[in-house]
Amino acid sequence: MAQIIIDTANHIAGYAAKAARVRVVAAYPITPQTTVVEKIAEFVESGEMDAEYIRVESEHSAMAACIGAAAAGVRTFTATSAHGLALMHEALHWASGSRLPIVMAVVNRAMGAPWSIWPDFSDSLSQRDTGWIQFYCADNQEVFDTIIQAYRICEDERVFLPAMVCLEGFILSHTYMPVKIHDQEEIDAFLPPYRSGWILDVNNPFSHANLVSPEWYMEFRYMIQEAMENAKQLIPEIDKEYGRRFGLQYGGLIDKYKCENADLIICTMGTMGSEAKIAVDNLRKEGLKVGAARIRVYRPFPVEEIRNIAEEASIIATIDRHISFGMEGFLASEIKASLYHMEDKPLLAGFIAGLGGRDVTFKTIEEIAKKSLKWMKAGRVEKETVWVDLRE
Amino acid sequence: MAVPKARRDMPLTPISYPTFGSMGKTGSWRTFRPIIDYSKCTKCTLCWVYCPDVAITRREDDSPEIDYEYCKGCGICANECPVKAITMQREEE
């Protein structure tokens, strides 16, 4: 039977791993991820979760153990943050290159130096090109539902790729919210037992991901790109099916809010998307035609949907909780890239905000919106990248 | 397993099945040849344990036998032999 519990997003991620009937968890603790794996350890210890819990000496080993377990034919889960994710980097490529459907919660935390334990997306966005699907969540319920959805997507034969489910440290990880834990039988009906493209077999031994010559390497890379494109088609379909079964869905690739007839679209990721909705409501009351688009899936990037949203808009404002040093925010770059082939494209204003956990409230977003609308009226963007609330 | 001709025939990730001597007869790589002096050998089997290429087999009486078709002449057996029963000789000698 479904039940509503009040708990933190980290604990909820643990509940999701249990509900997904994960069989192997290999993890190393790091703030703010720690309580994800503590909750799972509790479930395993009490027997509520029938899983092998592998304690490892580093995040690199955690991912290596997940790769081994997934190759041996079981559903695997892990979680990490910031420097732990960075240490995993090499193994992330091995997971995607081996086409293993591992799901990992990434509790977003800013990268040092200087040390920070507070959230921004510099950790997971640094892993952009590892061949992992990336989801970004806006609340605790979405964390639960996205982990369940992620297994279904990753284990689809058209995909067979790993996925990160990202949630911002503290804003979600340690914040209590009511969450509906769906009926286990209904989850089982949505998520069949583990499937992957290949499984190791002691009776027919082989080695995988071996050295390939230049004649073969490119094709393997192309197949990952194809799988990403397939995931882009599949994610909205699975999200809709999830909505039919459980009454909750998230807009597939992009969570759109009042984007119809909007002059300005505010593009965000993660929890800033929730604040943007409040800002949109307030601005609409003032008679301003503003909408919000929360990019829920960053890889594969929803290029076509961005173009659809941009059709009617005169300006897009991106808010990046991340900076690609020497360039701009990734969201700004990628949305610009998505719009390049449109004949009549909107203006684009890039804003950098909330680095290292600085609050981005609806008030901040309203200011960003008003500045963007001013530039829209003037017909040009005064400054391509604006750092919000930066000390002079 | 046949080598795929087209992309659609390729596996998701490269897969290799073990085959005997898939790199060819690696004995041709050798510049030094290990020679066992059976009068000194104590049948301790350490050379068999240490051979990284499984090119040493054990006879029924536990005395070692080198498979020169695959022995690359690395010399580990000679180095490990506690009674110096294995010597390395230049191939052309």
Dihedral angle of Cα B9, B14, B17, B18, to the nearest 10 degrees: 150
A54 three-class SS? strand
CA distance B15 to chain A (A): 4
Residue B81 forms part of a structural domain:
yes
Cβ burial A198-237 (10 Å sphere, 16+ → b, else e): beeeeeeeeebbeeeeeeeeeebeebbeebbebbbebbbe
Q: Scanning every residue of chain A, which has its alpha carbon at the shortest distance from the alpha carbon of B15?
A: A208
> Considering chain A, what is the average pLDDT of its residues?
97
Residues A160, A214, single domain; the answer is yes
B15 neighbourhood in chain A, CB within 8 Å: 198, 206-208, 210
CA distance A121 to A188: 32
Residue A220 forms part of a structural domain:
yes
Q: Is the CB of residue A197 less than 8 Å from the CB of residue A160?
A: yes
pTM equals 0.90
CATH, residue A331 = 3.40.50.920
Distances (CA, A) of A376 to A350, A372, A380: 13, 6, 6
> Would an 8 Å CB–CB cutoff place A198 in contact with chain B?
yes
Residues A379, A355, single domain; the answer is yes
CA distance A39 to A49: 11
Q: Scanning every residue of chain A, which has its alpha carbon at the shortest distance from the alpha carbon of B5?
A: A216
CA distance B20 to chain A (A): 13
Interface test with B, best of A94, A206, A211, A222 (most B CBs within 10 A): A206
Residue B28 forms part of a structural domain:
no
Domain extent at residue B71: 43-93
**Residue range A55-68, pLDDT digits in tens:** 999 999 999 999 99
Strands A163-168 and A133-136: parallel
CATH, residue B71 = 3.30.70.20
Residues A292, A337, single domain; the answer is yes
Residue A284 forms part of a structural domain:
yes
Q: B14–A209: do the CB atoms touch at under 8 Å?
A: yes
Residues A208, A300, single domain; the answer is no
Q: A208–B16: do the CB atoms touch at under 8 Å?
A: yes
Q: Is the CB of residue A117 less than 8 Å from the CB of residue A279?
A: no
What ipTM score was computed for the predicted complex, to two decimals? 0.81
Distances (CA, A) of A134 to A16, A63, A106, A124: 17, 16, 10, 8
**Residue range A343-367, pLDDT digits in tens:** 999 999 999 999 999 999 999 999 9
Helices (H), chain B: 46-50, 76-80
Nearest to A279 by CA among A317, A308, A323, A305: A317
CA distance B54 to A184: 52
Residue B5 forms part of a structural domain:
no
The pLDDT value recorded for residue A323 is 97
Q: Give residue A255's identity as a one-letter amino acid code.
A: D
Residues A298, A344, single domain; the answer is yes
Residue B60 forms part of a structural domain:
yes
A373 three-class SS? helix
Residue with tokens 């034919």: A73
Mean pLDDT within A289-311: 98
Residue A325 forms part of a structural domain:
yes
The pLDDT value recorded for residue B23 is 76
Domain extent at residue A101: 3-246
Residues A229, A355, single domain; the answer is no
Residue A392 forms part of a structural domain:
no
The pLDDT value recorded for residue B1 is 60
How many C-beta atoms lie closer than 10 Å to residue A325's C-beta? 6
Residue A232 forms part of a structural domain:
yes
Residues A240, A284, single domain; the answer is no
CA distance A252 to A221: 25
The pLDDT value recorded for residue A213 is 87
> Would an 8 Å CB–CB cutoff place A99 in contact with chain B?
yes
Residue A37 forms part of a structural domain:
yes
Of A97, A198, A207, the CB nearest to B16: A207
B10 neighbourhood in chain A, CB within 8 Å: 216, 219-220, 223
In chain A, positions 145-184, which contact chain B (CB-CB < 8 Å)?
160
Strand runs (DSSP E) across chain B, as ranges? 15-16, 32-36, 56-58, 64-66, 86-90
Q: Which of A230, A246, A262 is the last residue of a domain?
A: A246
How many domains is chain A built from?
A: 2
Residues A31, A177, single domain; the answer is yes
Residue B3 forms part of a structural domain:
no
Q: B13–A205: do the CB atoms touch at under 8 Å?
A: no
How many domains is chain B built from?
A: 1
Residue B77 forms part of a structural domain:
yes
Q: Which of A246, A273, A307 is the last residue of a domain?
A: A246
Residues A212, A299, single domain; the answer is no
CA distance A264 to A270: 19
A156 neighbourhood in chain B, CB within 8 Å: none
Q: Can you read off the two tokens belonging to residue B52?
A: 């990284």
Residues A206, A344, single domain; the answer is no
CA distance B88 to B80: 12
Residues A205, A316, single domain; the answer is no
pLDDT per residue rounded down to tens, chain B (93 residues): 678 889 999 999 998 888 877 778 899 999 999 999 999 999 999 999 999 999 999 999 999 999 999 999 999 999 999 999 999 999 987
CA distance B33 to B92: 10
Total CB pairs under 8 A between chain A and B: 45
Distances (CA, A) of A44 to A1, A59, A117, A150: 21, 20, 28, 22
**Residue range A312-342, pLDDT digits in tens:** 999 999 999 999 999 999 999 999 999 999 9
**Residue range A182-226, pLDDT digits in tens:** 999 999 999 999 999 999 999 999 988 888 889 999 999 999 999
Residue B36 forms part of a structural domain:
no
Using the predicted structure, report yes or no on whether residue A274 has a pLDDT greater than 90: yes
CA distance A109 to A171: 11
**Residue range A242-260, pLDDT digits in tens:** 999 999 999 999 999 999 9
Of B7, B13, B16, the CB nearest to A99: B13
Residues A141, A175, single domain; the answer is yes
- Is the N-terminal amide bond of B64 cis, ω within 30° of 0? no
Q: Which of A246, A272, A291 is the last residue of a domain?
A: A246
Q: A209–B10: do the CB atoms touch at under 8 Å?
A: no
